[in-house]
A and B are shown apart, each in its own frame.
Chain A
Amino acid sequence: MSPSRQTSASKKNRHKAEGGESSRPGPDENRGLKRNRTPFEWGLLATALVVIGTMVIGLFVYADKRAGGQAELRVEVRDTGRQHEGGPEVQLTVRNTGGAGAEQVTVEVQMGPEVREVTMIRIPKDDELTATVIFPAGTSGTPEAELLSYVQP
């Protein structure tokens, strides 16, 4: 055996001894969907395919819904932590994620016993409006907001 072949053979043996499992499969085995897989690999692949399918279908359905031309308003409210003459400042955001604009959007903001109504003239589609509500001094609690009404032009 020539020295070069000996080196090659010993490399091969060492590779086998180290587990050799990282060697690539031959051209006719382990390819495509028919490839042999461990249960863990099947689980990963099946989960991934189900999730991707759900996401793509969900986005298509979402697109179809948006094309329907309905306003979809999402209301968020948060205490900014700032005070104005002792009264807490609350920030109200209304987002229109639908396929049409909304007008005369009325939102009720409540903090503790205090209730305020905010009316926004118009929120175009894919847009948002923010309003600041100042409650009287001494008001405390977690602010909450509820969409009361809106008009779709």
Chain B
Amino acid sequence: MSPVRGAATRPEDAMRGVAGAFLLGVPLVYTQEVWFHGGNLPPSAILGLLAGSFLLNLALSTAVGFSAGRTHRPFEDAVVGFGLSFLLAAFLLLLLKRIDLQMEWAPRFGIIALSAVPMSIGFALGNSLAPAEGGQLGDKSSGGLGDLLAAAGGAVVLVFNIAPTEEPLLLAAELGRVRLIGLVVTALALSYLMVFYAEFGGKHRRHQAGNPINTPVLETLFAYLVAFAVSAGLLASFGEVSGLDGPSLAKTVVLAFPASLGAALGRLMV
């Protein structure tokens, strides 16, 4: 094979797209109307939506793209982002038990397709999620507390419109222990990959930071704890958790999943 020239896509680039897909897609996956309409809309309407969103993906891949320097291959990037978004949506819907192997196969396509639309847009926008060289406030607020503050801010921004809704309660009531643990593991893995693996700006500065909290694993764990605390606080504010019982813990774990993604984005912004 002749050497590949041009800006080849690397796993780090794809991870940037995955990060964008989850950040834009998760709030919609936490919406029961999507579960309902995905299984009930006429397939022709869903196909029309998919066609429209593919064109939008193509335009976004031309202008932005999930991979720096790749806007000269918009069609291929749009196809890749679009296809992978279906896979990511299916994974998340399975994890949240919105689709399962027992349900009839036909509505699954509708639910996955509808959830994948915002995910694909997020995938195409992946490259512009965070400043290319890290946040402008990096010098002032980097370090342990600054990062955790940014994590709290990002978590609040992403889940403030999810916390008062019925969906986290509905999901928490239906998810078993295995799926809840799966949510925690997925949240930790995604946060780590977004902040320390994807080629967002400031990645190398983070790796080299001397603060003990800024070791990748510890920072990921602390940021998740912050996201968890933010979720618990918001749920308590809306009267949905009352103590350290099982249902309250389940509700908090469900809400902490999008909160941890917001926390990762918050840290990337500074």
Tell yes or no: A45 within 8 A of B by CB: yes
B11: A residues at CB distance < 8 A: 40
Residues of B within 8 A of A79 (CB): 173
Interface of B (DSSP majority class): helix
**A41: chain B residues within 8 A (beta carbon):** 4, 8-9
Please judge, given known A-B contacts A40-B9, A72-B104, A128-B36, whether A52 and B43 are in contact too, CB under 8 Å.
no
Complex contact A45–B84 (CB within 8 A): no
Provide the A14-28 mask, 1 if CB < 8 A to any CB of B, else 0: 000000011111000
B44 neighbours in A (Cβ, 8 Å): 63
Q: Does A29 contact B (CB under 8 A)?
A: yes
- Say yes or no: B68 contacts A62, CB within 8 Å: no
B86 within 8 A of A: yes
State which of A2-10, A30-38, A105-113, A132-140 sits at the interface with chain B. Answer: A30-38
* 5 residue pairs from A and B, CB less than 8 Å apart: A22-B6, A41-B4, A63-B47, A74-B104, A97-B40
Q: Does B253 contact A (CB under 8 A)?
A: no
Chain A residue with the shortest CB-CB distance to B47: A59
Are the CB atoms of B87 and A55 closer together than 8 Å?
no
In this complex, how many residues of chain A approach chain B with their Cβ under 8 Å: the count is 40
List of B residues within 8 angstroms of A1 by Cβ: none
Q: Does any Cβ of A come within 8 Å of B52's Cβ?
A: no
Interface locus among B72-80, B182-190, B209-217, B257-265: B72-80
- Interface residue A122 (Cβ < 8 Å from any Cβ of B): no
Q: Is B131 an interface residue (CB 8 A)?
A: no
Cβ–Cβ contact A45 & B79, under 8 A? yes
Q: In the complex, what residues of A have CB within 8 A of residue B84's CB?
A: 44, 47-48, 51
Is the CB–CB distance between A22 and B7 below 8 Å?
yes
- Given A44-B14, A49-B83; A36-B3 close (CB under 8 Å): yes
Q: Take A44-B14, A56-B47, A60-B43 as given contacts and tell me if A37 and B83 are in contact as well, using a CB distance cutoff of 8 Å.
A: no
Chain B residue, CB-CB nearest to A56:
B47
Contact A62 B110 (CB under 8 A): yes
Which residues of B from 37 to 62 have beta carbons under 8 Å from A? 39-40, 42-44, 46-47, 50
Cβ–Cβ < 8 Å partners of A81 in chain B? 169, 173, 247
Do B39 and A95 touch (CB < 8 A)? yes
A37 with B8: CB separation less than 8 A: yes
* Min distance, Cβ B5 to any Cβ of chain A, angstroms: 6
Q: Which of B14, B81, B103, B112 contacts A55 (CB 8 A)?
A: B112
Task: For residue A68, give the distance in angstroms from its CB to the closest CB of chain B.
Answer: 11
CB <8 Å contact, A30 and B6: yes
Contact of B174 among A29, A48, A78 (CB under 8 A): A78
Interface mask (A48-72 → B, CB under 8 Å = 1, otherwise 0): 1111100110111111011000001
Query: Is the beta-carbon distance between A51 and B83 smaller than 8 angstroms?
Result: yes
| 8 pairs of A and B residues whose beta carbons are closest in the complex | A48-B83, A63-B43, A22-B69, A58-B109, A62-B106, A25-B6, A51-B83, A59-B43
Chain A residues in 8 Å Cβ range of B244: none
Would you give the shortest CB distance from A87 to chain B, in whole angstroms? 18
Q: Does A146 contact B (CB under 8 A)?
A: no
The answer to whether B106 touches A65 (Cβ under 8 A) is yes
Is B82 an interface residue when CB atoms closer than 8 A count as contact?
yes
A37 in contact with B109 (CB, 8 Å): no
A38 to B170, CA, bound (A): 44
Would you give the shortest CB distance from B28 to chain A, in whole angstroms? 17
Cβ of B112: which chain A residues have Cβ within 8 Å of it?
A: 55
Interchain nearest-CB distance for B69 vs A (Å): 4
A48 to B80, CA, bound (A): 5
Contact A44 B9 (CB under 8 A): yes
Q: A48-B84, A58-B109, A63-B43 are in contact. Are A36 and B5 (CB under 8 A)?
A: yes
> What residues on B are CB-neighbors of A52 within 8 Å?
79, 82-83, 86
Interface contacts beyond A21-B6, A36-B4, A126-B40: sample of 20 additional A-B pairs, CB < 8 Å, sorted by A: A21-B8, A24-B72, A35-B73, A40-B11, A45-B79, A45-B80, A51-B84, A52-B82, A55-B109, A58-B106, A59-B113, A62-B109, A63-B47, A65-B106, A66-B106, A74-B103, A78-B170, A95-B39, A97-B40, A97-B104
